[in-house]
Structure 1
Amino acid sequence: MRILISADMEGVSGVVHPAETNPERYDYERGRALMTAEVNAVIEGVLAAAPNADVLVADAHGPFRNIITEELDRRVRLVRGRPRPLGMLGGLDERTDAVMFVGYHARAGAGPAVLAHTMSDGVLSARLNGRTYGEIGFNAAMAGHHGAPVALIAGDDAACAELAELSPGTVTVAVKEALGQAAAVTLHPAVARERLREGAAAAVRSVAEIEPFRIDGQVTLEMDVWGATVDLATLIPGVERLPGGRTISFPARDLPEAYRMMLLIVALGQVPR
């Protein structure tokens, strides 16, 4: 069995503020230590249930260089750094039996939800065939395209509820209850890790019963973005600016093409100008 763990930071227990997730802020080292510990707890649960599992961990927050490598469980391999194919799902392929989301957060505009956004603060909304999705939906659909269900999600209660709408069979572990964008009632990290170990083991045992979330056929990507990102995006063949000024549209042949375009547009919004 091959498991890919995609690890973000905003949904980690105890984390509620950008100062804890931004490498340039004072409390980041604490945030990355908490993130690493939660990933290790999930690994322990996976390998307790499936000792021979092949486990990859995709560092999927910000620069993709957050997990403290020397403190990561030595039984796994780490996908680190960016840019890379498939972004937050680096390491995903047709051999992947299941994906687990750890430290995930709700989409932009959701609330109450801790540190809710979609890929970057420059994205106001992102839609596939008219339905709004955040990182959870985009990544679940991309995993599903490769035949892999999302077996586990850990984050605040809003993130767990967001995935439950798309994949009712997924094991959810809410490590905090959102009170707002930068406030939550959070479990003690040690308690959160206990629940993550148990949840990951249960998720491994239920993989065969979870249906992958899929979006098949042609896909229209729409994104509402800030400022000059619209101007840059419309330089890409096929991308159109819609009435209103800040919405762009792209007719994709399939989900992977829409996903890659979304990653590119997000990256354009982060280019220094």
Structure 2
Amino acid sequence: MKILISTDIEGVAGVVDAQQVRAGNVEYERARQWMTAEANAAVGGAFDGGATAVYVNDSHGGFRNMIASEIDARATLISGKPRVYSMMAGLEFDVNAVALVGHHSRAQGRGVLAHTINSFAFARVMVNGLELGEPGLYGALAGQAGVPVIFGSGDQVFIEENIGYFDGAVWVETKRAMGHGSAATLTPQAAGARIREGMKKAVQACISRPMTPFVIPGPYECRLQTNSPAQADTFCLLPGTDRVDGVTLSFRAASMENVIRTLNVFSTMSVALR
């Protein structure tokens, strides 16, 4: 049983402010330690539940946040960018299930530090009429490969938005969002204990019975609402895009992989406007 753990930072216990998720300050250095600890809790729980291999995907920002020397030695760390599957890198290793640790609410959501892929440029992302955040988008990418999401941890808004997509998944609420930059949060120690126990249960359940992947039937139409007309102007330079209105564009794709890859191309293009 091979498990892929996609670890973000905004859903980690104790994280409530943008300064904590941006490199270059003391607050971030502390938060990345908490992120590493939650990943380790999930690794421990996965092995407790019967996993034979665990891959930990660093899925925040530049994808090099977690402290490699502190990751559980039984796990394999996936770090750095660019990579084709982005927050789902590791699917290439024939994993059997995915866990989402430290994930967050979608853009325009009411969760802590809510956003979707690129907080500077992306206001809403819809695929075949379904509004999705990172968990839904990347969970559907895993689903296309036949891999179910079996676990998620983060705030209650993240859970509420995604609980309907992932059949049988185990959820751990690490904090209760009180606003974009405030929460009633577990301590890192308490969150780690709950994540470990939740992952153990999730892996045991996955071993005992088949779990259904989250699949969005194709073909795919993605509609992206940007935060400014200048961003929509720039993204529409990519062939195959159609302008819907001043801030919205759409494109078609044959697979969820191509949807994800195109969105990440747009995210990279947005750097030119910063």
- The TM-score bracket by the shorter chain reads over 0.9
Give the counterpart letter for 1:12 in structure 2.
V
- The aligned amino acid for 1:139 is Y
Runs (5+) with no aligned partner, structure 1: none
In structure 2, distance between residues paired with 1:94 and 1:45:
20
Spell out the pairing of 1:92-103 with structure 2 (5 A cutoff): 92-93=91-92, 95-103=94-102
Deviation at 1:265, TM superposition (A): 1.0
Match of residue 79 from structure 1: 78
Conserved in 2, the CA contact under 8 Å of 1:136 and 1:162? no
Aligned residues: 270
Indicate the SS of the match to 2:143.
helix
Structure 1 segment 133-144 matched on structure 2, within 5 A: 133-144=132-143
Q: Distance in 2 between matches of 1:71 and 1:231?
A: 43
Equivalent position of 1:158 in the other structure: 157
Letter of the structure 1 residue corresponding to residue 114 of structure 2: A
Deviations 1:131-171 (A, max 9, x none): 11000110110010111110100001111122202124110
* Alpha-carbon distance change, 234 to 265 in structure 1, aligned in 2, over 3 angstroms: same
2:66 aligned with 1:67: yes
Residue matched to 1:18 = 18
**SS across alignment from 1:221:** strand
Partner of 2:194: 195
* Residue 186 of structure 1: how far off its partner (Å): 0.5
Describe how 1:102-251 pairs up with structure 2 within 5 A: 102-111=101-110, 113-121=111-119, 122-207=121-206, 208-227=209-228, 228-243=230-245, 245-251=246-252
CA displacement, residues 46-95 of structure 1 (integer Å, 9 cap, x when unaligned): 111115x1111110001100000000001111110011111111111371
Question: Structure 1 pair 165/59, CA: closer, same or farther in 2 (3 Å)?
Answer: same
222-231 vs 15-24, which moves further: 222-231
Do the aligned partners of 2:231 and 2:273 also contact (CA within 8 Å) in 1? no
Q: Does the aligned pair in 2 maintain the 1:94–1:146 contact within 8 Å?
A: no
**Contact 2:5 / 2:100 at 8 angstroms: preserved in 1?**
yes
Partners in 2 of 1:231 and 1:91 — Cα distance? 33
- TM-score w.r.t. the length of structure 2 is 0.95
AA partner of residue 144 (structure 2): H
Taking a change above 3 Å as real, the CA distance of residues 242 and 5 of structure 1, as seen in their structure-2 partners, is same
- Identity between Structure 1 and Structure 2 (%): 38
Deviations 1:225-269 (A, max 9, x none): 1333212211111111112x1101001122221121111112211
Secondary structure of 1:93 counterpart: helix
Deviation at 1:24, TM superposition (A): 2.9
Which amino acid in structure 1 is aligned with residue 112 of structure 2? Answer: V
Alpha-carbon distance in 1 for matches of 2:106, 2:202:
23
Residues 186-207 of structure 1, C-alpha deviation per residue, up to 9 Å, x if partnerless? 1111111110110000000112
Amino acid at match of 1:14: G
The CA deviation at 1:272 is 5.5
**Root mean square deviation of aligned Cα:** 1.3
Give unpaired runs (5+ residues) of structure 2.
none
2:265 maps to a residue whose letter is L
Q: Distance in 2 between matches of 1:157 and 1:209?
A: 26
Structure 1 counterpart SS, 2:272: coil
CA distance in structure 2 between the aligned counterparts of 1:159 and 1:226, rounded to whole angstroms: 22
1:33 match: 33
Range moving further from structure 2, 117-126 or 88-97:
88-97
Amino acid across the alignment from 1:15: V
SS in 1 for 2:92: coil
Is the CA contact 2:167–2:213 (under 8 Å) kept in the aligned structure 1? no
Q: Which amino acid is 1:271 matched to?
A: A
**1:216 and 1:254 in contact (8 A); partners too:** no
Distance in structure 1 (CA, Å) of the matches to 2:182 and 2:165: 26
